[in-house]
Amino acid sequence: MRLSKLYMPTLREAPADAEIASHKLLLRGAFIRKSASGVYTYLPLGYKVVRKVEEITRQEMDNAGSQEILMSAIQPKEIWEQSGRWEKFGPEMFKLQDRHNRDFCLGPTAEEYFTTLIKDEVKSYKQLPLNLYQIQTKYRDEKRPRFGINRAREFTMKDGYSFDTNSKTMEESYMNMYCAYEKIFDRLRLDYKIVQGDNGAMGGSQSHEFIALSETGEGVIAYSESGKYAATTEKAEVKYVLPEKEEKLEMQEVNTPGTTTIEAVSEFLNVSKNKCLKAIDLMVEEKPVFVFIPGDRELNMAKLIGFLGVAEHSIEMMSDEEIISLGSRPGFTGPVGISEDARIIVDKNITEIDNLVVGANKEDAHIKNVNYGRDFEAEICDDLLEVQVGDIIPETGEEYKFARGIEVGNIFQLGTKYSSTIGAKYLDENGKDQLIWMGSYGVGVTRSVSAIVEQNYDEYGIIWPMTVAPYHVIVTVVNAKNEEQLALGEEIYNALQKEGIEVLLDDRKERAGVKFNDRDLIGIPLRITVGKMAMDKIVEYSTRKERVNEEVSAQDAINRAIETVKEELK
């Protein structure tokens, strides 16, 4: 492609709302343009990168025995109602009606849809296992779309689904996808960690997330130095260190004016924070729920959601009025004598701590020496705590380390969650109806593009890995009005194209500075500069990463480019 023809409107400055490097550089380098909040257009260079990520994903899915199909982006309401997710997905789901007022959504994912597809056509165990995928536009009406194509409302996702006769082969299908995902993200040249995930809205048991490490990532992972353990902080288990056992004393109400925080009450009563009960007052699906955890910890909302089995958007903080109407006071909520209309849930560790200080459900009052079992009872959840610095990994005994990252892939063992609600069954060898065992597998195609940029840029622009670069080589003719330079540029351009190398020829009649800045910005991995020494067939060769020019003969430059491209595509 000739740059004189390429539609590449690069920008000197990124718009003010672009916060992170990938967002800024993809805009500046004319890879993407914003059409609306969280909605983007891919310009020629950007779409080439997207297609390369798609193609790598496709190849590895095909190699793993999965088969590509394409379902519609609009999905009928009925199939979502069967699983209960029509309501559960909440405002993240774009909904619409057709001219006959029939309800549809723009698919945010497709567990229900794939299950419905195979439901009537997979009849026998002989047709299983089966693995299908699609590379398709997906929709999530994010509360806060941000970071460009990192968290967009319309995006490209590979979603795939496995169908098996039993849990054991489901696990094999899952491991098969696990390995395929490693190959995909390796070929995308991402630096990533595979971590145990939270199953969240997907349901099912085991899951893993593929997290591209990046300081700008919205996800936090907790892992062990040894590499033996890694999980999202949503999932990471907390082994809480209990305060020492004491003799249980008698309850005593104390006046504690203005102590509406754990810090305040701990200081006022001179009691360590881990002996104070932290209350989180919530409305869940519009019903009151009081959650109590040790005062020195934070609530892990994902764990609570998993325990309750509700949708994230159905949880809100309780208002002061609601707290009062339940016979308590904001800042002084406690489990003793609270309204029986509310659900009370405690982190399991609470049952092991003696002589707790708890809110007295009165203004400016707490109760000391409260003990679980003797003074109150509640629903017990094994682990409601957010992991924190200093915690020990239960499985390995090491201290947790933390890192930020971008979730580019996830895999879930769904079990029979969807097949049971939708009724997807097969006949086993004995002619008996059995539920199909499923897995679901996602790759964020467009999000991977932003993750690749987050890991591959410098002060001058993007540095694309060869495997996803929009072009492999850029040939810059320093002075395109000079016939000798242009002729040699064309010669190199043609020679490389003949070898199947994807080449850009910068034949624009622009100043050299403009051309050099553009090529740094758009990040083509290899560069050949044709300048004044063109008459002697001498050019400059450099990589985008090193940016160090080396004088070589045109033929050497061609040979080196071909060799490097082939090497790096391996």
For the CB of residue 211, give the shortest distance to a copy of itself in the complex, in Å.
26
Residue 10 exposure: Cα atoms within 13 Å on the Cβ side:
18
Cα 563 from Cα 561, distance rounded (Å)? 5
Q: Is the CB of 61 or the CB of 195 nearer to a copy of itself? A: 61
For the CB of residue 91, give the shortest distance to a copy of itself in the complex, in Å.
5
Exactly one of 17, 63, 67, 267 binds a copy of itself (CB under 8 A); which one? 67
- Binding of a copy of itself by 72 (CB under 8 A): yes
- Binding of a copy of itself by 121 (CB under 8 A): yes
Exactly one of 113, 147, 240, 400 binds a copy of itself (CB under 8 A); which one? 113
Cβ atoms 525, 544 nearer than 8 A: yes
Q: Is the CB of 344 or the CB of 452 nearer to a copy of itself? A: 452
- Binding of a copy of itself by 75 (CB under 8 A): yes
Which listed range, 40-48, 239-247, 277-285, 561-569, lies at the site for a copy of itself (CB under 8 A)? 40-48
- Binding of a copy of itself by 422 (CB under 8 A): no
Which listed range, 5-13, 326-334, 339-347, 492-500, lies at the site for a copy of itself (CB under 8 A)? 5-13
For the CB of residue 51, give the shortest distance to a copy of itself in the complex, in Å.
8
Cβ atoms 232, 221 nearer than 8 A: yes
Cα 473 from Cα 455, distance rounded (Å)? 20
- Binding of a copy of itself by 39 (CB under 8 A): yes
- Binding of a copy of itself by 96 (CB under 8 A): yes
- Binding of a copy of itself by 63 (CB under 8 A): no
Site for a copy of itself in 221-250 (CB under 8 A): none
Q: Is the CB of 137 or the CB of 252 nearer to a copy of itself? A: 137
Exactly one of 95, 119, 183, 348 binds a copy of itself (CB under 8 A); which one? 95
Exactly one of 35, 255, 549, 555 binds a copy of itself (CB under 8 A); which one? 35
For the CB of residue 220, give the shortest distance to a copy of itself in the complex, in Å.
26
For the CB of residue 144, give the shortest distance to a copy of itself in the complex, in Å.
11
Cβ atoms 140, 154 nearer than 8 A: no
Cβ atoms 265, 277 nearer than 8 A: no
For the CB of residue 388, give the shortest distance to a copy of itself in the complex, in Å.
33
Three state DSSP letters for 251-317: CEEEECCCCCCHHHHHHHHCCCHHHEEEEEEEEECCEEEEEEEECCCCECHHHHHHHHCCCHHHEEE
- Binding of a copy of itself by 9 (CB under 8 A): yes
Pairing of strands 473-477, 526-530: parallel
CA distances from 414 to 165, 411, 564 (A): 13, 9, 43
Q: Is the CB of 130 or the CB of 336 nearer to a copy of itself? A: 130
Total residues interacting with a copy of itself, rule: CB under 8 A: 48
- Binding of a copy of itself by 73 (CB under 8 A): yes
Which listed range, 39-47, 262-270, 401-409, 551-559, lies at the site for a copy of itself (CB under 8 A)? 39-47
CA distances from 397 to 134, 240, 274, 298 (A): 41, 13, 22, 22
Exactly one of 15, 91, 258, 394 binds a copy of itself (CB under 8 A); which one? 91
Cα 19 from Cα 41, distance rounded (Å)? 18
Pairing of strands 437-444, 473-477: unpaired
Cα 383 from Cα 403, distance rounded (Å)? 22
- Binding of a copy of itself by 6 (CB under 8 A): yes
Which listed range, 64-72, 372-380, 428-436, 475-483, lies at the site for a copy of itself (CB under 8 A)? 64-72
- Binding of a copy of itself by 474 (CB under 8 A): no
- Binding of a copy of itself by 104 (CB under 8 A): yes
Binding track, positions 131-170, relative to a copy of itself; x by CB under 8 A: -x----x-x-x-x---------xx----------------
Cα 191 from Cα 121, distance rounded (Å)? 40
Q: What are phi and psi of 191, to 5 degrees?
A: -90, 110
Cα 468 from Cα 187, distance rounded (Å)? 9
CA distances from 535 to 2, 58, 264, 487, 540 (A): 22, 45, 80, 10, 13
Q: DSSP assignment of 436-493, as one string? A: PEEEEEEEEHHHHHHHHHHHSEETTEE---TTT-S-SEEEEES-TT-HHHHHHHHHHH
Q: Comparing C-alpha atoms, which of 482, 469, 457, 465 is closest to residue 534?
A: 482
Phi-psi category of residue 511: left, alpha or beta, with phi > 0 → left and psi -120 to 50 → alpha: beta
Exactly one of 14, 19, 59, 76 binds a copy of itself (CB under 8 A); which one? 76
- Binding of a copy of itself by 500 (CB under 8 A): no
- Structure token digits, residue 516: 């050099």
- Binding of a copy of itself by 43 (CB under 8 A): yes
Angle at 211 between CA 171 and CA 411, to 5 degrees: 25
Strand-pairing partners, residue 163, are 130, 438
Q: Is the CB of 119 or the CB of 401 nearer to a copy of itself? A: 119
Q: Comparing C-alpha atoms, which of 69, 37, 48 is closest to residue 6?
A: 48
- Binding of a copy of itself by 33 (CB under 8 A): yes
Q: Which residues bind to a copy of itself, rule: CB under 8 A?
A: 5-7, 9, 33, 35-36, 39-44, 46-47, 50, 65, 67-76, 91, 94-96, 98-99, 102, 104, 106, 113, 117, 121-122, 130, 132, 137, 139, 141, 143, 153-154
